Chains A and B, each alone.
Chain A
Amino acid sequence: MTSAVDEHAVLANTWGTPRGPLGWLTSVDHKSVGLRFIGTALFFLALGGVLALTMRTQLARPETHLLTPQLYNQFFSMHGTTMMFLFAVPAMMGLGIYLVPLMIGTRNVIFPRLLAYAYWVYLIGGLFLYSGLVTGNGAPAGWFSYTPLSETQFDPTKGSDIWAQTITFTEISMMAVAVTLIVTILKQRAPGMSLNRIPLFVWSILVTSFMVVFAMTTIATASFFLAADRLINTRFFDDARGGDALLWQHLFWLFGHPEVYIIFLPATGIVSHLVTTFSRRPMFGYTPIVFATIATGIISFGVWVHHMFATGLPQLGLGFYTASSLIVTIPTAIQLFCWIATLWSGQPQWRVPLLFVLGFFFILVRGGLTGVMLASVPFDLQAHDTYFVVGHLHDVLIGGAVFPLMGALLYWYPKATGRMPSEVAGRWAFGLLFIGQNLTFLPMHLLGLHGMPRRVYTYLASTGWGGLNLLETVGAYILALGVLVTVANLIVSRFTGPRAGNDPWGADTLEWATTSPPPPGNFAEIPVVMSRDPNWDPARPEDRPVVTGLPLDRRELLFTSALDATPVRRIELPGPTIWSLPAALGTAVGLIMLIFTPWGLVVGTLLAVPPLVVWAWPKHGGSA
């Protein structure tokens, strides 16, 4: 029998990635790809944040002309596009890529090369969007790129083309990630991890991934229509030729509202873990939370028209969408009460990640309540396109997603790096973010009720909006400082943080059962799961059951049944490859060419398909 040390060496050899630049370009390890997604998303958060701060600086005083009206349009369009497409979704999915295999007890995702491809496509797409801004072709028509504003008649630049193709880049990427995560979650869970034992974050990623598949298909198709209208003069949104500008709004919001929950649901998964760990007790109401997560995912596809209350749709339809928009709050409320019950009946430890959960409760509930107000047609018609809506949506998105994400970064930081983040810096960051959030976005509600419209590049002093706007700008800088302190904490603690050990928080899920950072292949031995909180099982770790008979010298893992996670077969995964990168570059060349000529479709296919065939050509392993 080999010793444990030998086993680790063999595993590292089998599942490792080559060192140096080649390793960086060829890695198919879900941990490094996941961290890249998160790191890149934070980079885009910074860019989107700089755009926001510039806009806030412009609005701090009346009649300021730091930005021209045209540039201001591009800034708010790029800010929204960045935060939704390049930051929030990739950050959440990146967290899923990193954590899901660790939480379900497997060695990698099912399509690791596809995942690497998805990352490159995302990175290139994001940089491409910004190439537009620096060349005077920033997207000018809002993050939703409403037609006819985004049609060539009103936007003769390449801005809306670049916007549409950026959407295609990110959707290709996110759909590849979503399919990979769905199959991984359904088929690779450790033996014993039946459906009713799946960690809640994994549940949230599963539901989110299904939503991504359907929602992103919608926006990808719609943005293709838009790109075609602009490139080859199709008439989808041209009212004069039998098209309809409102068709765009339907398609966009059929994606756009689920998008909010695509960002929010993983955050609820994060909150469940933080609450469980720091309450020192299993989650109260696991099953209701799972059903609430699924219900939210389904209902979120039936509320999109509440974004279109002001477009003159039939009254009966509006009534239906008011009702559905109110109903979607019920599952969220169920989750909220379950978290509160868990904290109430547990022994809460007020460590920094849990503080972010409290911030989440406070701000999300406020955003939810203003959402209930906006779901009512008469109120919406008054507040539509005012700063009230801006305040509401930032409460929901920052309170509902960024706060949990910041908590998550600090909570799982020790797992990814082996070091603890600074508790003091974390508390400062939380304080700054919480104060900044409230100072920035609470006054927006008032300004909106006073009639300040959205998307104006400046305002007259006589409106009397100057004071609150100045307060908001101060708040925005405090908010930015909070993000900076968090990022600095993450960077500095990498070198100075105390060693974390495997399980510094005393948490319940499987990722804490392996070393920090986890080795290539994640686990020395694949665990067998006996309960919902496997790391809290009374048996000593070395006495817990494991999977035997899986060779360590090949990239083999276990395929299990979708419901009960009973072992079905063994699968051999492919190893590192360089071909994901040329495939992504080929895709990129095609998509970028498509802005100028329809031949981009042909060129892109010719460039992207050969690398795909080479990488998928069967050698040793089975799947992509």
Chain B
Amino acid sequence: MARVNSVDVSALPREGFGVASPAWWGTIGFMVIEGSSLVLCAFAYAYLSRRSPMWPPSGIAPLRLGVGTLVAAAFLLSLVPAIMLHRAAKSLDRGVVLLMLLIGASIEAIIVGLRGYELHALPMRWDGTAYGSTVWFTMGLHTTLLVMDFGETLVFAALFLRGSVDKRHFADVADSVLYWFFVVLIWIPLYFMLYVAPRAL
């Protein structure tokens, strides 16, 4: 005999996007942890800058604005296929998702290369001054997020190329796009902090 107030859940869906997806929560968790870490790097950068009469310290050239701006622009540009990928994933369009995953992976590969050049172009090492240490650490930490997302995009591309995907995987792709937004958008204030602020202030 059915009990009073019992709840029948047999008709509930077995998949969901956003807050109804565990991967979304996992992604948010990653973003909070890594975002906090980057904020702390920025805190250390700002804290140490106030202890130094000159910033960058004397004898160290400012970071090359052109290179930094190029990388930041590439990041922003990558949002276009990312937004299209997010839309395609939400409408369960497998063909467009695969296409955008491949385009996204290609753009991320280019950005990884550009970031390599950006690090190569830094005018100081990490072991000369605390300034160099904070700049290298902030960029290095962000680079690990970039590489991680690149790897994730490759894994999803492989998954969709193999073809055996269901609705849940579309939700996972949508969540991975969310992570890419985070990687891009958190870089913009850091770009201003590292490249623009020392020139402007």
Contact of A572 with B14 in the complex, beta carbons under 8 Å: yes
A185 CB to closest chain B CB, in angstroms? 11
Complex: chain B residue closest to A550, CB-CB:
B9
Bitwise interface map of B from 118 to 144 toward A, beta carbon under 8 Å scored 1, else 0: 000000001111111110110000000
CB-CB under 8 A from A243, the residues of chain B are: 48, 130, 133
A454 within 8 A of B: no
**Residues of chain A in range 218-243 having any CB-CB distance to chain B below 8 Å:** 218, 220-222, 225, 228-229, 232-236, 238, 241-243
Contact of A228 with B22 in the complex, beta carbons under 8 Å: no
- Complex Cα distance, B13 from A570, in Å, reads 6
Contact of B26 with A547 in the complex, beta carbons under 8 Å: no
Complex: chain B residue closest to A229, CB-CB:
B133
A310 within 8 A of B: no
Contact of A217 with B40 in the complex, beta carbons under 8 Å: yes
Please choose the segment from B28-36, B104-112, B181-189 that sits at the chain A interface, where 4 or more of its residues have CB less than 8 A away.
Answer: B28-36
Contact of B9 with A183 in the complex, beta carbons under 8 Å: no
Indicate whether A218 sits within 8 Å of B7 (C-beta atoms), given known contacts A232-B127, A622-B23.
no
- Complex Cα distance, B12 from A187, in Å, reads 15
- Complex Cα distance, B7 from A191, in Å, reads 8
Contact of B12 with A570 in the complex, beta carbons under 8 Å: yes
- Complex Cα distance, B19 from A546, in Å, reads 24
- Complex Cα distance, B172 from A425, in Å, reads 52
Chain B interface mostly: helix
Contact of B7 with A528 in the complex, beta carbons under 8 Å: yes
B169 within 8 A of A: yes
Identify which of B6, B44, B127 contacts A547 (C-beta below 8 A): B6
B37 within 8 A of A: yes
Contact of B40 with A218 in the complex, beta carbons under 8 Å: yes
Contact of B159 with A548 in the complex, beta carbons under 8 Å: no
Identify which of B3, B52, B126 contacts A232 (C-beta below 8 A): B126
Contact of B155 with A613 in the complex, beta carbons under 8 Å: yes
- Complex Cα distance, B49 from A242, in Å, reads 9
CB-CB under 8 A from A6, the residues of chain B are: none
Identify which of A244, A567, A571 contacts B48 (C-beta below 8 A): A244
Contact of A235 with B5 in the complex, beta carbons under 8 Å: no
- Complex Cα distance, B155 from A110, in Å, reads 22
B41 within 8 A of A: yes
Complex: chain B residue closest to A548, CB-CB:
B8
B5 CB to closest chain A CB, in angstroms? 4
B13 CB to closest chain A CB, in angstroms? 5
Complex: chain A residue closest to B40, CB-CB:
A221
Bitwise interface map of B from 74 to 114 toward A, beta carbon under 8 Å scored 1, else 0: 00000000000000000000000000000000000000000
Contact of B130 with A235 in the complex, beta carbons under 8 Å: yes
Identify which of B5, B41, B47, B126 contacts A244 (C-beta below 8 A): B47
B20 within 8 A of A: yes
CB-CB under 8 A from B15, the residues of chain A are: 569, 622
Number of contacting residues on B, CB 8 A?
A: 52
Contact of A235 with B20 in the complex, beta carbons under 8 Å: no
Identify which of B8, B11, B22, B48 contacts A110 (C-beta below 8 A): B22
A298 CB to closest chain B CB, in angstroms? 15
- Complex Cα distance, B4 from A545, in Å, reads 6
Bitwise interface map of B from 47 to 64 toward A, beta carbon under 8 Å scored 1, else 0: 110011000010000000
CB-CB under 8 A from A623, the residues of chain B are: 22-23, 26
Indicate whether A548 sits within 8 Å of B10 (C-beta atoms), given known contacts A214-B36, A217-B36, A217-B40.
yes
Contact of A213 with B29 in the complex, beta carbons under 8 Å: yes
Contact of B168 with A570 in the complex, beta carbons under 8 Å: no
B178 CB to closest chain A CB, in angstroms? 15
**Residues of chain A in range 539-572 having any CB-CB distance to chain B below 8 Å:** 543-550, 556, 558-559, 562, 567-572
CB-CB under 8 A from B159, the residues of chain A are: 617-618
A198 within 8 A of B: no
- Complex Cα distance, B7 from A549, in Å, reads 8
A179 within 8 A of B: yes
A340 within 8 A of B: no
CB-CB under 8 A from A175, the residues of chain B are: 33
- Complex Cα distance, B102 from A341, in Å, reads 64
B117 within 8 A of A: no
CB-CB under 8 A from B44, the residues of chain A are: 225, 236, 247, 251
A28 CB to closest chain B CB, in angstroms? 14
B151 within 8 A of A: yes
A213 CB to closest chain B CB, in angstroms? 6
Complex: chain B residue closest to A219, CB-CB:
B40
B3 CB to closest chain A CB, in angstroms? 5
A238 CB to closest chain B CB, in angstroms? 7
CB-CB under 8 A from A477, the residues of chain B are: none
- Complex Cα distance, B33 from A182, in Å, reads 13
- Complex Cα distance, B7 from A622, in Å, reads 24
Known: A236-B130, A244-B51, A251-B44. 11 other contacts (CB 8 A): A111-B26, A187-B19, A218-B36, A235-B127, A236-B48, A238-B130, A546-B6, A547-B7, A569-B13, A570-B14, A618-B172
User: What are the 10 closest A-B residue pairs judged by CB atoms, nearest first?
Assistant: A549-B10, A623-B22, A179-B29, A234-B133, A243-B130, A545-B5, A233-B127, A242-B130, A217-B36, A183-B25
Residues of chain A at the chain B interface (Cβ within 8 Å): 110-111, 175, 179, 182-183, 186-187, 191, 213-214, 217-218, 220-222, 225, 228-229, 232-236, 238, 241-244, 247, 250-251, 528, 530, 543-550, 556, 558-559, 562, 567-572, 609, 613, 617-618, 622-624
A-B contact pairs, 10 of them (CB 8 A): A236-B130, A236-B133, A242-B130, A244-B48, A544-B3, A549-B9, A549-B11, A549-B12, A569-B15, A618-B172
